[in-house]
Structure formats: structure tokens, C-alpha cells
Structure 1
Amino acid sequence: MSENATPDHLTLASFDAPSSAAARAALSLATQYHSPTLLNHVLRSWLWAEAFAIVEGRSDIDHELLYVAAVLHDIGLVPEFDNVFRSYEESGGHVAVALTRGAGWDEHRGQRALEVIVRHNWPAVDPDLDVEGYLLEIATGLDISGARPDALPASFIREVLDAYPRLDLAQEFGTGVVDQAARKPHTAAHRLVEGGVVRKLADHPLG
């Protein structure tokens, strides 16, 4: 992230992806297994999360952790990492544990990646409990449900959407989460479906 980024001057150039082994591996994995639509979604989610941190004046952020969690937060939706019982966010969190352990993270930091990914699907996250989890939750809330569409500068939102368009997100994510809810009704996917996520995707203010 650029040290000069301010709420009034947010652009894509304000943010640089971490160059660590874990960050590179996370992006490589997401690129290999996600469709272009879902890859754009996870990258937008990272950018929204970082932008929310600036707009809200949150500076004590583990940017590498946030990036890895954002890029991998939906990897549990793809067939190769789907889990027969566990929720897709928990499955994806364990993928992040394995990936980051291989990249040299210790057990505690790998657990943090799991926590952030799981908590992004909570109805709300207390930033005092988990600021990275909070940022990813509100970022995905914007990208999936259209929550707080006016909280970020309109020019920044347009630039991000031009670089990472939504493509078929409503169809792809909607189909994936409905399938998860049907097969695993005890998970957060069921709550999302019951909460009208398919309608929210269809009526999304960002298109």
C-alpha cells in the first residue's frame, strides 16, 4: 500500500500486492482454480478491504495476512477444495493454513488466515476482535450484497470495476452458494441464501 494514500485520493496505484512467497502462492492458486469472474471478485475484495482501512483510518493492519485471506476466501467453492461437511469458508481457510505453512508462516499466523477467512462470512465482525476479518467482511459485503456502496470514492470504485469487472458474478457466485446451502444446510451458505443473497446479487448497485 502506498504511504501517501488518502481517502480523497484513492486509485489503483495506491495499492501494491505484497510480494512475499505466501502472497505470490495465494494468487497463483486462485488464478489456477478460480474462473475469471471469481478471480476478479477476490481481487476486488482485497482492494475494497484496503480502501475501507484508509477511509476509516485503520493503520494497524497486517497487509500480507489481509491479502492472502482475501485472495483465498472463496477457494472452498471450487470443486477441488470443496468439503463434504465443512462450510466453504472453513474449507478455504484450511487451504490457506496449508499454503502459508508451506510459505514459512508459523502455526499462529496460519491460524489467523483461517480465522479471517471464516469470519468474512459472519453477519458482522468486531474490528477490536479481528480488524483483518472485519475489513474482509465489509469488503465482501460490498462486492456480494451491495452493502455500503457509497462508503468509498466513486472514482476509485469505477477504476477498480474497469480493471476487474464483475462479469458473471451474480450467476456464478449465486449458483455456488445455493449449491453449498442445499448440500450443507448447517453452514453460513444457508444463512446467506435465506438472507436473499441471490436477489442482492441480481440487484447489485455496482452492476
Structure 2
Amino acid sequence: MQLHDFPVPDTAAARAAATLADAYQSPALTAHAVRSWYWAEGFAAVDGITAVDHELLYVAALLHDIGTVPEFDNIRSSYEHAGGHVAIALTTGAGWSGARRQRVLDVIVRHNWPSVDVSLDVEGHLLERATGLDISGVDADGLPVDYLREVVRAFPRGSIAAEFGAGVVDQADRKPDTAARRIVDAGVVEKLRHNPLERLG
């Protein structure tokens, strides 16, 4: 398994998502988003999951944390809902159907669920597992170590531990009824620091 096994979708929505991520997210946050997409695709390959909407998964991965940046932070809604609505706006411009736009929102929201059953939502399941790996180190042995190392070297972790840790704590403090509070209470800041991926760079 290698990076070139998973070509980035060459579509208007995918290109727009990458442009938006680069314009508004820090380099560390966008690298986290890209790594999450590669982890998601890797898990699909390892598990033999073939019914994947790769374009939708890519857009959701690139924008799943964009609700944490000041320009898109919502005063009341969770950052995953805020990011999901950014993705709806973007994919509306790309001509996606209403049902598919709802799907990208669902996938982004569900990435913060404790788990997502693959029978309920393939892309949501993959993104939840992928972000769990990149943030908390969950299931780090579920992908080949050479692949983990290749992705981390291509898209370095940089300051993601400090940056995302501070961001999710801020979200939890301001929005205590959202998933951010649960994630912080579950020890995400320590998990970020001790993520085994930090040793692969």
C-alpha cells in the first residue's frame, strides 16, 4: 500500500475543497485533513470496503475541521456541524444533488461520533476511524507501518498536537453541550501528545 494507490479525485468539488482548506486552515490542520483522507482510504482497502464515494470522502476529510477556524466558527453549533454546512455550501456550487449534499454534512458530523457502523454510513465510518487514528492514535496497527510512515513524511504532523488540542479545548469551553466537551473529557490533549504517529516523522 502506497500513496499513489489513492489518487486525489480530479473534480471541481475536490479541487474547491483543497483550495478552501489551504486558504482558511493552517498548514498543520490541512495536513491533518489530508492524512485523514489517506487513512480512510487505507482502511477501506485493508477491510475490502469497495462501495466508497471517494469524492465525497475527500471533500468531507478536507473540510471536517474547518468549523474550528475563526471565519467559520459558529457561536452555537458544534464545529463539526459548522464545517458540514461549509461543505454543503461548497458542494452546492459544484452542482451536487440535495441528497448528496446532506451526505457530506452527515459524514462530517459523524466523524466526531464515538463510532460509526459501516452499515449505516460507509464514508462516515471511514472518516471516524481515520480521524481517530490521526488525533488519538486509535487503531495505529490497522494500517501497514510503511504506509503510515510514507503519509506522515509526505504530510508532516507539525504543530497539530498543540494546535488541535488548544482548538478543541476552546470549543468545549464555549460549547459544552457539543461533542468537543466529550472529546476533551476523554483526554484528547494527552492522546495527541502520545500519538504513535508522532514518532514516524
> Taking structure 2 as the reference length, what is the TM-score of the superposition?
0.98
What is residue 164 of structure 2 aligned with on the other side? 173
The question of 1:159 aligning with 2:145 is answered no
Q: Which runs of 5+ in 2 are unaligned?
A: none
The question of 1:185 aligning with 2:170 is answered no
Offset at residue 33 of structure 1 (A): 0.6
The question of 1:37 aligning with 2:28 is answered yes
Deviation string, structure 1 residues 66-105 (Cα, Å, up to 9, x no partner): 0000000000000000000000000000000000000000
* Alpha-carbon RMSD: 0.4
> Taking structure 1 as the reference length, what is the TM-score of the superposition?
0.95
Deviation string, structure 1 residues 88-141 (Cα, Å, up to 9, x no partner): 000000000000000000111000000000000000001000010000000000
The question of 1:75 aligning with 2:66 is answered yes
Count, aligned residues? 198
Report the Cα distance in structure 1 between the residues aligned to 2:175 and 2:193, rounded to whole angstroms: 23
AA matched with 1:200:
K
The question of 1:92 aligning with 2:83 is answered yes
What is residue 54 of structure 1 aligned with on the other side? 45
Report the Cα distance in structure 1 between the residues aligned to 2:133 and 2:44, rounded to whole angstroms: 14
Report the Cα distance in structure 1 between the residues aligned to 2:125 and 2:142, rounded to whole angstroms: 15
Report the Cα distance in structure 2 between the residues aligned to 1:131 and 1:90, rounded to whole angstroms: 19
Q: Which runs of 5+ in 1 are unaligned?
A: 1-9
What is residue 14 of structure 1 aligned with on the other side? 5
Report the Cα distance in structure 2 between the residues aligned to 1:48 and 1:203, rounded to whole angstroms: 18
AA matched with 2:155:
Y
The question of 1:144 aligning with 2:135 is answered yes
Q: Secondary structure at the match of 2:196?
A: coil
Deviation string, structure 1 residues 24-76 (Cα, Å, up to 9, x no partner): 00000001011110010000000000000000000000001100000000000
Report the Cα distance in structure 1 between the residues aligned to 2:82 and 2:187, rounded to whole angstroms: 23
Report the Cα distance in structure 2 between the residues aligned to 1:146 and 1:37, rounded to whole angstroms: 17
Report the Cα distance in structure 2 between the residues aligned to 1:108 and 1:65, rounded to whole angstroms: 12
What is residue 124 of structure 2 aligned with on the other side? 133
What is residue 5 of structure 1 aligned with on the other side? none
Report the Cα distance in structure 1 between the residues aligned to 2:190 and 2:163, rounded to whole angstroms: 13
Report the Cα distance in structure 1 between the residues aligned to 2:156 and 2:93, rounded to whole angstroms: 32
Report the Cα distance in structure 1 between the residues aligned to 2:153 and 2:67, rounded to whole angstroms: 26
Report the Cα distance in structure 2 between the residues aligned to 1:13 and 1:94, rounded to whole angstroms: 30
The equivalent position to 1:195 in structure 2, one of 186, 193, 200, is 186
AA matched with 1:159:
E
